[in-house]
Structure 1
């Protein structure tokens, strides 16, 4: 098991111990260990007990439990707790705002042990009558249940990508050609079907092969002689494997990878794109668009007619690519809640071929993430100066901060400290329950702050887990245009925020967008790939991508912005 999986088991054990009101000291031991180990860079699976106890927050008892996990892949204490806990009670932990104490109250006092019963209790007003809940909490629970219901059967882009690649590796030995298609190829941020096309001249034998593969379960009702449908072990998302003849695979790869609204688009040749796909003698994608009399559209943009409207002003070769990126500006280190040092993160950034690394650790209000005090800010800057002294002219670390936007829209350092940074990413992290007016006003004030360089993850959403707070996107983007503030495309597959549908409007208003990984470890830097995917989906050009600026231009931009503030 990797560190994240081990920490998840410890965290769940601590949570369930608290739920069942087990020994408070032992409960805190699990919770403390999980909290501390979430940041460790040590390979937990490789450490013996006598080394584990040297890690922060790990006592001998928990070290033995980690050893048990490493040896067996399980934890007997957790298995026992799970056996006592209805599955529906576990599901309640997914409800925003429901901590252990509230879940225990709902289970013990109202006898609720399924999400369906929770919804019924809310609709009947029984939750509001419980001490410590009230009508507001009841309404939030009902809203959260609706949101979760809408997300059932979906996975984030990264999970869909992972599954598609695993399936492809499993299928390639059995088929002449295997292509990932559908929503995954189109880079949809929330995927409900992972689809692959399999080349075969013998569908009957091919279907028998699919039925014999491990970890795949067919849905007999939904499948047909030419389409296998089912699930993969460990993934709550539909899988569709389509069997295609060799001379039809390219044609179907195009058709299956475009949304219906895109395929309906009529072209100057007098035929819709779907019709052109079937009548074109050349099944290549470029030939299909030519046959319809339409400009070529990259797979990411094949959602509706937006791409064709976009094409009146741009060419698909103008879209940003990974190769266009020159640096990364929203990253965290062990100074706050990251898992690697500034030096390690910068070194890996350099290995990736980028020429600058921006550190933007959490600010002082973010105590939950070990936000930096003023003294720590100054100490970090001294460290960065020392590191920069060791680089040549081809690489630099920029001094940034992710400053919390407080409830009134102000940033959580005074101007004297903000002036020390090369740039400031301003983000909302707390008090997320807001009306559209409140949230928009809060962001507008932060944007008006002359020290705000980048507006971070503008809606605060977590895909499939938490809806973002409502904002007036046009007003926010217009304000960024007025004040010269860059908007972040948070590339973490958990966020992908700002939503791709607002990228084109931002470009129209002359607002630059920065593809930021929000990386907390080395692997997190690679999340910029997902950011590029959704940026291309929204039509972002390299010219309008902030972190596509070369090092010298970025340094000049940031310095000139600071000069304007001081003047």
Structure 2
């Protein structure tokens, strides 16, 4: 057994001892022993226990642990500590820049015990108020977690968008051609990207290899028809090649997923596809043109055949931004700053504030007195900013029994209520569904927020019976959120069509905690397009007058509910 392995194990033991508030002298002794062993010029795995005790910096107690590890590949004390430590905390300890003291604060004071929860907490500015943390530390932790996630080779669409667009521009410039196009997952605007794919008209040649080196891409594999590379961060890049006459066909073959392509080719059997554009090929198949976002092998072929494809929503269709946070709870910018950004920069008609409710103590949730104070500020701002309007909203925690935070009297003071689960996420499908159903049936619930609580690439959502939840929203006139934060994109696009078929409105909400967070509505719109959403089915594509009527109708629901 190498000294480095022994030293690494002792360092880990030292960190766990510190995490569990063991004697500081013992913690330092184990850490010092790890340092000494790592620097020894000879292997110690052949030494007897007596010889180990003679090594400077070990002593009898640590020598016994080293001897135990050499003989059994385990240390009993380490095993006991591991059994007392949540798996997510162990994973957290592997992230650069977070020592045991900070992890202890994150775990015990903030109640966070997974990397996914930590990443989300960074995203929602929940670390900055904790002892020993600040905005700079929070951003550094977030960056290191992103690096850790990226090492798995999978990336959020939003995280590679800038790189992808710049790479396309640089490729066109270096290869002196416009005949380079995105294909695959990126062109379909998938929420998670495993490989960034390009289609190039022409043949693989030495010039491309030369330019790949200039663009700082590492070549992995190469053939006549495809070159595979990767970036320094681990993102795979694929370059495919085709002739000009086959371009339309190849663009279709390399954009749609396997099921879409298979279904389309069945309709095209016997047709000559050479020198045909994408539009012409879909026409040959007897279909309306299917935009790349929809080419997922769901029901798009049937809809295109019957000329019933929806007119997909555009980012420019959005008239307002709902579900946002300010310095009243865990946001970075004030309520006025958030509203002014939406009014002046985004040219929107309205803004909905949804700071956290009182049970979200970790996010500086609003008690009843602070709710009243915020409403007074909103009244003053509405006079100042008219005709732009700030709606009084709240993100009310769905408690474990499915009830909402606050009394009916307080809930009735809001223009709208976003009901969301934030705590006790470890539920089976039956419990999670039952919890949501009770919240949906509450007459004060306007919008069901991020229905599964998922965090893409870092935390699976709690399991729910989507059909039951969506059916309940339809029966209770509850809108469902498409949380536009690239980490969430929840409700999942695969359930949008079912919700729309039930007559439910969806709302593209940024869940913004700073002014720039409102821009995430772009990613919410992209994922809504994948789900087949039109502006007619989108709450915040409504004008101020229209949405005001919707919220007034909710007030009627409150009265009927009582």
TM-score (norm 1): 0.71
Question: Are the aligned partners of 1:217 and 1:230 in contact in 2 as well (CA < 8 Å)?
Answer: yes
Q: Does structure 2 conserve the Cα–Cα contact (< 8 Å) formed by 1:128 and 1:134?
A: no
Look up the SS of the partner of 2:199 in the other structure. strand
Q: Select 1:348's aligned residue among 341, 345, 350.
A: 341
2:286–2:305 CA contact under 8 A, matched in 1:
no
* Structure 1 residue ranges without an equivalent (≥5): 1-14, 28-80, 85-108, 114-119, 139-143
Contact (CA 8 Å) 2:252, 2:261: kept in 1 or not?
Answer: no
Return the match for 2:420 from 405, 418, 427: 427
Residue of structure 2 in register with 1:208 after alignment: 209
Q: Is the 8 A contact 1:128 1:135 kept in 2?
A: no
Contact 2:16 2:81 survives alignment (8 Å): no
The whole-number CA distance in structure 1 between the counterparts of 2:306 and 2:450 is: 27
Q: Does 1:183 align with 2:185?
A: yes
| 1:470 paired residue among 459, 463, 471 | 463
Q: 1: distance between equivalents of 2:86 and 2:395?
A: 34
In structure 2, the CA distance between the partners of 1:485 and 1:265, relative to structure 1 (3 Å rule), is same
- On the 8 A contact 1:426/1:452 being kept in 2, the answer is yes
In the alignment, structure 1 residue 458 sits paired with structure 2 residue 456? no
Instruction: Return the offset for 1:250.
Output: 4.2
Matches within 5 A, 1:46-125: none
Higher alpha-carbon Rg: 2
Whether the 8 Å contact between 1:491 and 1:517 is mirrored in structure 2 is yes
2:361 to 351, 364, 367: 367
Q: Report the counterpart of residue 254 of structure 1 in structure 2.
A: 252
Q: Distance in 2 between matches of 1:137 and 1:193?
A: 30
1:447 aligns with 2:440: yes
How many residues end up aligned between the 2 structures? 443
Q: Give the equivalent residue in structure 2 for 1:87.
A: none
Is the Cα contact below 8 Å between 1:156 and 1:189 reproduced in 2?
yes
State which drifts further: 470-479 or 337-346.
337-346
CA spacing shift, 1:306–1:152, aligned 2, 3 Å: farther
Q: Determine the structure 1 residue equivalent to 2:483.
A: 490
- The verdict on how the C-alpha distance between 1:565 and 1:211 changes in structure 2, with shifts beyond 3 A counting, is closer
Deviation at 1:133, TM superposition (A): 5.5
2:236 counterpart of 1:238: yes
User: Are 1:157 and 1:187, in contact at CA under 8 Å, matched by a contact in 2?
Assistant: yes
The separation in 1 between residues aligned to 2:283 and 2:214, in whole angstroms, is 40
Q: Give the Å deviation of 1:169.
A: 3.0
Deviation of 1:389 (Å)? 0.4
The offset of 1:151, in angstroms, is 9.9
Alpha-carbon distance change, 227 to 339 in structure 1, aligned in 2, over 3 angstroms:
same
CA contact (8 A) 2:204 2:226 kept: no
Shift of 1:187: 0.9
CA contact (8 A) 2:326 2:513 kept: yes
Distance 1:522 1:398, change over 3 A: same
Task: Trace 1:355-394 onto structure 2 (pairs within 5 A).
Answer: 355-393=349-387
Shift of 1:522: 2.0
Q: Contact 2:454/2:490 (CA < 8 Å) preserved in 1?
A: yes
Larger mean Cα displacement after TM superposition, 159-168 or 291-300: 159-168
SS in 2 for 1:318: coil
Indicate the residue corresponding to 1:157 in structure 2.
157
SS of structure 1 residue aligned to 2:439: helix
Specify whether residues 136 and 316 from structure 1 end up closer, same or farther in structure 2 by C-alpha distance, changes over 3 A only: closer
Which deviates further from its counterpart, 439-448 or 517-526? Answer: 517-526
State the Cα distance separating 1:424 from its structure 2 match: 0.3
- Give 1:33's aligned residue: none
Does the CA-based 8 Å contact 1:321-1:532 persist in structure 2?
yes
Rounded Cα–Cα distance in structure 1 between residues aligned with 2:88 and 2:459: 17
CA RMSD between the two structures = 3.5
